[in-house]
Structure 1
Amino acid sequence: MGQKSGRSGGAAAGVSSAIPRAVYERELYRLQTELVKLQEWIRQDGARLVVVFEGRDAAGKGGTIQRVAEHLNPRVARTVALPRPTERERTQWYFQRYCAHLPAAGQITLFDRSWYNRAGVEHVMGFCTDEEHERFLRQCPVFERMLVEDGILLLKYWFSVSDAVQEQRFRRRLEDPTRRWKLSPMDLESLTRWEAYSRAKDEMFQHTDIREAPWHVVESDDKRKARLNMIAHLLASVPYREVPRTPLSLPERPPATSYQRPPRNLQSYVPDHAATLLRGGDRPK
């Protein structure tokens, strides 16, 4: 067995100096402003954009998706994170339930994991048969070529994290009560099956890294850099333009009439929890 740095699953050897928070936040805001422009172009031109986020557990996909969608209109940009298939869905053509979430004209779909579950966790954990896995590897390129041929803009990102950084993030999730929900027995299983997941990913790339829909690898040991790099690449990959907007201005508020607000004691208000903190009173347990 080689050293841990050799088991990065594609991550670069070593991480360069971190980006200062102020620099990161300034550039993130600039990129998010461009994402809003992209959204408006998608909406006006009736384009359809699909972005697939894949990668190992704790690779930073969820945080990046949050930054992408943070300032977008949820009626235009939807994040899709499907649960386990139902009994009925298990009898369908494998890609069928994903098709239901593809965007219509003027919409963006962000897949937080996608049909590639079959090439990863389902294959490694034995949730699908070898025949189903092989069929997926044959059909997936055909399926994606159909999407692209129909005019869908399809971008696929693989977030690559080293085993050492993944383990650090798992430990932080165990210790942080607000993050424990992110850690499941399936996630912990991935620690002991690192090489199996690596082989599955390599085989998946071999079959699905196609010219019409290539994979783009995001080095994600440094989350800030990963987010900036991914969003910048997304913006550079879509031929959007800024859509002129009709100037808006606030109208003059009309003068008050005879309206009177009902007495406050007729309504139920939430307790002023914030005031207890300012007074230094009892903290809620």
Structure 2
Amino acid sequence: MSRPRFLSCLLGVYENLISHHDDKMIILVHWCFLNKYFCVIEDGKEKDIFTFKRDDPSGIVIDYKKDDLFITTKHSFSGAQYTVELSTTGSQFHASFSIKKTKVVNENGQFADNINYLIANINSKIDGALTRLKVQNNGRNPAKKFDPNVYFEISANNIPIGRIIFKLFDAVVPKTTANFRALCTGEKGFGYKGCRFHRVIPQFMVQGGDITNHIYPEFYFADENFKLQHTKPGVLSMANCGPNTNRSQFFITAVPTPWLDGKSVVFGEVVQGMDVVQRIESYGTNSGTPNADVVITTCGIIQ
């Protein structure tokens, strides 16, 4: 996403968040956004001067001059003073935050001794909101900076058995991950919700995603690359019927499967819920037909 577009999205999320906070929290929201903007966005090689100046509801004015970065924002409330200063060395942005009172008011109007509680809470909301914007605005060009995890909720014979969370490797295989993420959200009108794990082989893998559709116009889409390998349990990879025959089917490894390197495109890994994968594996047979009805009951993006 370009700098102006990113900034526009950032401001939209910022305005939405501050509308749900009182004055005591606005400065913290503001600082988190400054930190997010200057620590995430790529500085690039351009030498022009970019200036951003805005009066916002908290009365803070931001001035940003690229190549000679200088930002200072000050705000005070309830006898506490907060100062935000940002500086840059080369293309590396740094943000510092100082507070002249040891206690601050949290969202419930209670005093919180640990500023990190508030910052973590706000950053979580910022990341979730920006993730939704990236999916809405950038579906055809997968995000390089904001790569949200996705999840499956799994049942076996109509009994919930847990959640699997995947990290997708957008920077390596963006076309493949965009397909999988869209099938998790169902944003195209079809997806993995209600889909079964139809092939499960113990000490090998669990396979699902047989919905016949994918997000690209061609019947199959090509193998993107084979940079990533099947080195461990929990690797998420594309199932296929030969070279360049990717659609919607995927598998999760139960063991390292190096013989699949160069044949199946690895595009993610399990970061939580490997015990659920093992539970699915326990329903497997040598023929691959599972002895339980294992279903993705719901799926989507981690907010």
User: TM-score, normalising length from structure 2?
Assistant: 0.23
Larger RCO: 1 or 2 (CA < 8 Å, sep 6+)? 1
Name whichever structure is richer in strand by fraction. 2
